[in-house]
Amino acid sequence: MDFSLTPEQQALFASMLKLGQDVIAPGAADRDKSGVWDPAVWKATSAAGVAGLPIPAEYGGSGGSILDCCLVNEALAQGGKDGGFGLSLGAHWVIGSVPIWLHGTEEQRQRYLPGLTSGELIGAWASTEPEAGSDAGGILTTARRDGDDWVLNGTKIFITNGPLADVCTVLARAPEGPTAYIVEAKTNPGFKVGRELDKMGCRSSPTAEIHLDECRVPQSAVLGEVGSALWKIAFECFDWERTVMLAATVGGMRSTIDETIRYAKDRQQFGKPIAHFQAIAHKIAQMEINYQVVKNAVYKAAWLKQHDRPHVIEASTAKVLAGELSVQNALESIQIHGGYGYLRDFPAERALRDAKLTSIGGGTTEIQKMIISRTLLG
């Protein structure tokens, strides 16, 4: 296997790392504390072409491959140290824009993708409900026909970018089965943004409840076929989440290790840097081992996806490893920082709170193990 990156990919990674360091990192700690989204950061990263990376040039995007998207996600997370930015960007890309590109009519693509790729519009996806999380097929939101329109009613929860979204694809139960509807969120009076959720991590990304209250959309808002959106669209979204979005966790892990090494070399106890104690050095070695394992798993799954090869087990494996090992690394980073690691002044505790989401959002660790075991056992 060839693990090398092309010169263009190396340059892309380097420029996105710098963008993360220069534009995202400076206010990351403050945004985490106050739990706010900064539109200026979105504007600056969009101006650098980030918002439309996975979408083809004919719709205003950059036509990045799956691996390109992983590299950009990883680099921005590594340089930017802001799990919330990665979450919002990931949602905008893989569940907000990609379904419209892959399943939309030409009219839908032309209507939404240029705005989504320039970053002028923000995308979101709403399938999860208070009573239907892991069991995505258990949604209760209804879609009924009324003349030429559809009318949606129900409640969604945990919707990333919910308060920001201009375009939100909503999964609802039509008489024929689960169907996806593109809702123009800011102008549709039936799309009501409810409570904003106060999260433990990724706090710079807004997450909200959405109430669909007689939310009327035209027939032209149906994304894909009526009745088959769960298998054809939602499950594909989860697949992108388990490959492209996971690369942000890889970048976050790298940044945590680098910061921990810096601290361990700098902090003196018993007359020498704590990095000189084998107990600390071995913790750092284990953190690196965990990072290598996660990076290889994520990029292998992404490579398989890019080459259209089966990757169900690999993607779920990557998700389990990333979810568990990123948390282990963040905990070890806190331990190496001692009392200071327990304070909000250092990035270690933020890394822990941000990392925890990887084992929950887009399919929990338990669900990944269910997918792997079902695939193996038939």
Residues 6+ apart with CB under 8 A from 60: 52, 113, 114, 117, 118
DSSP string, 1-28: ---PPPHHHHHHHHHHHHHIIIIIGGGH
Report which residue type is found at 210: I
- Please state, in angstroms and as integers, the Cα–Cα distance from residue 166 to each residue in 93, 204, 277, following that order: 14, 18, 53
Asked if 128 interacts with ligand FAD (CB under 6 A), we say yes
Tokens for 172?
């609802």
Candidate segments 100-108, 128-136, 292-300, 309-317, binder of ligand FAD by CB under 6 A: 128-136
φ/ψ of 184, rounded to 5, equals -85, 90
- Give the residue among 222, 46, 209 at the shortest CA–CA distance from 150: 222
Candidate segments 47-55, 153-161, 222-230, 242-250, binder of ligand FAD by CB under 6 A: 153-161
Candidate segments 31-39, 331-339, 341-349, 353-361, binder of ligand FAD by CB under 6 A: 353-361
Asked if 13 interacts with ligand FAD (CB under 6 A), we say no
Asked if 363 interacts with ligand FAD (CB under 6 A), we say yes
Please tell me what DSSP assigns to residue 53.
T
Q: Helix or strand or coil: residue 35?
A: coil
Residue nearest to ligand FAD according to CB distances in the complex: 133
Asked if 126 interacts with ligand FAD (CB under 6 A), we say yes
Using CB under 6 A, which of 122, 284, 367, 372 touches ligand FAD? 367
φ/ψ of 38, rounded to 5, equals -110, 110
The nearer residue to ligand FAD, 118 or 364, going by C-beta atoms, is: 364
For residue 203, the minimal CB distance to ligand FAD (Å) is 10
- Please state, in angstroms and as integers, the Cα–Cα distance from residue 104 to each residue in 111, 119, 367, following that order: 10, 19, 29
Asked if 204 interacts with ligand FAD (CB under 6 A), we say no
Distance from chain centroid for Cα 316: 15
For residue 134, the minimal CB distance to ligand FAD (Å) is 3
Site for ligand FAD in 206-225 (CB under 6 A): 207
Question: How many residues bind ligand FAD, per CB under 6 A?
Answer: 22
Contact 326, 255 (CB under 8 A): no
> Which residue in the block uniquely carries the two structure tokens 């925890």?
356
Asked if 290 interacts with ligand FAD (CB under 6 A), we say no
Using CB under 6 A, which of 12, 71, 121, 159 touches ligand FAD? 159
Using CB under 6 A, which of 357, 358, 371, 372 touches ligand FAD? 357
Site for ligand FAD in 163-202 (CB under 6 A): 199, 202
Asked if 364 interacts with ligand FAD (CB under 6 A), we say yes
Asked if 368 interacts with ligand FAD (CB under 6 A), we say no
Please tell me what DSSP assigns to residue 197.
P
Helical spans, DSSP H, in 234-311: 235-240, 247-266, 278-306
Asked if 160 interacts with ligand FAD (CB under 6 A), we say yes
Using CB under 6 A, which of 64, 182, 362, 372 touches ligand FAD? 362
Asked if 329 interacts with ligand FAD (CB under 6 A), we say no
Using CB under 6 A, which of 91, 121, 151, 180 touches ligand FAD? 91
Report which residue type is found at 219: Q
Q: Which sequence positions are flagged as catalytic? A: 241
The nearer residue to ligand FAD, 135 or 214, going by C-beta atoms, is: 135
Asked if 286 interacts with ligand FAD (CB under 6 A), we say no
Element (H, E) at 196: strand 191-196
φ/ψ of 270, rounded to 5, equals 55, 35
The nearer residue to ligand FAD, 231 or 342, going by C-beta atoms, is: 231
Binding residues vs ligand FAD (CB under 6 A): 91, 125-128, 133-134, 158-160, 199, 202, 207, 357, 360-364, 366-367, 370
